[in-house]
Structure 1
């Protein structure tokens, strides 16, 4: 038999054996081979594996387990990964809310508010929307800086808490949000006062007055309003605007008659032969008439 024909016949027999499921093939056979033998570039370099489909609730429960163990960073990552893998499932919404919570517990205010904002943009009408809003405010609130540092975070926390009060007044979080709003206002007022006192020391009275003005315009119901009025008395006396100094002291006395700040303002006026006297045309008088305090 022609050698080429013999070789071709043997290859045909071997291929036929592969094509027939029941055909026996001896490993020791001289003609046994794998499909890689037909690959002109050699055997496959990488083994291909099929990644089994992991159910969504499995990912979610893994995140909960990490939360229980105090691994908040790992939990946030697990919930985030689950959303990427199942973006249109009911578990994605739950995972996003838990991502907010995990970041909050981890003290990562920026990550918590980012996740909360995403939740509110995707699911604004869900029953958990109030909770997501409250958590965002709480994450910022618990990272409250001292009054010598920038208060942008507290101002943002106030916006979240105000949303809870305005949009979800009957929710379980409304009462605490109202309380946190008052604390945040006190904090921001104290910051403005601190900056105003700094300008006073520098004898930059115009800048100081602007800061005390902010306290009365934005935070007039806080305890810092008393000191702001007394400081205004000082500043206006320093620049010779006595009617405003007298008005600040008069409004202070009318609203906080037992305040030590009123006594200080009264003494400063008395030292210059003046007394508290309210001018109805003063911006100070108008502010307090507007809120019904004076």
Structure 2
């Protein structure tokens, strides 16, 4: 009985060790494949929508052939694959790394535009966090300044307007809240920001109108402090 157990244990150990060496051989064999062959495989996976597989192949290609002439293209394709997978944070980081390492590359403008698109795709409604809107507008504006006649200029201009609409709507919502609680100085500052920073998104006239009301309320409060007294909300410790 003991001899049988020993025999079975030995066979299992042999199988485990054998599979380990076979796995190791496969890894070595893959790493010795020509870079062009791996590139073609990754491109096929990407074009057929197998993004997880494509990402793995591109990353292997990057790691196994770091000094290949294909290396910059591989880095860019990794970013593109993250973008297709809607992993926008990873994609943005990869695009930014590409433009940092290859500022003179013919695809640098594309990578910079795609960085902006990563933030643009994360934009939410005006009542939510507006960091993506701000970052997208910032990147797109820099792109136009650096290459006003470039291939991305027209599309970028349209997207900047969308970013500014979001940012202006957010400012208006905050200003309206301050106005409702009679915080007229704070409301005035927000309405003035809309007029100054986002004059061409359709909220200019409304902001100007409310600026006049805020100014009148502030003047009235100075003469009659009790009539326009701000609403003070209790703090968390007072509730």
Normalising by structure 2, what TM-score?
Answer: 0.76
Q: Which residue of 2 aligns with 1:117?
A: 96
CA separation of 1:73 and 1:147: change in aligned 2, threshold 3 A: farther
Higher RCO structure (Cα 8 Å, ≥6 apart): 2
Report whether the alignment pairs 1:213 with 2:188: no
Q: Which residue of 1 aligns with 2:181?
A: 202
Show structure 1 runs of 5+ residues with no match: 1-42, 243-294
Q: Which residue of 2 aligns with 1:56?
A: 35
Q: Which residue of 1 aligns with 2:110?
A: 131
Instruction: Please state whether the residue corresponding to 1:240 is helix, strand or coil.
Output: helix
- After superposing on structure 2, the runs of 4+ consecutive aligned residues of structure 1 that deviate more than 3 Å are 45-50
Alignment partner of 2:136 out of 157, 182, 200: 157
CA separation of 1:74 and 1:140: change in aligned 2, threshold 3 A: farther
Inter-partner Cα distance in structure 2 for 1:82 and 1:236: 63
Instruction: Please state whether the residue corresponding to 2:149 is helix, strand or coil.
Output: coil
Q: Which residue of 2 aligns with 1:30?
A: none
Normalising by structure 1, what TM-score?
Answer: 0.62
Inter-partner Cα distance in structure 2 for 1:156 and 1:239: 34
Q: Give the paired residue count.
A: 199
Inter-partner Cα distance in structure 2 for 1:123 and 1:155: 25
Greater per-residue helix proportion = 2
Is the CA contact (8 Å cut-off) linking 1:103 and 1:109 kept in structure 2? yes
Alignment partner of 1:183 out of 154, 162, 167: 162
CA separation of 1:131 and 1:186: change in aligned 2, threshold 3 A: same
CA separation of 1:195 and 1:72: change in aligned 2, threshold 3 A: farther
CA separation of 1:226 and 1:64: change in aligned 2, threshold 3 A: same
- Residue 141 of structure 1, CA deviation: 1.2
Show structure 2 runs of 5+ residues with no match: 1-13, 222-239
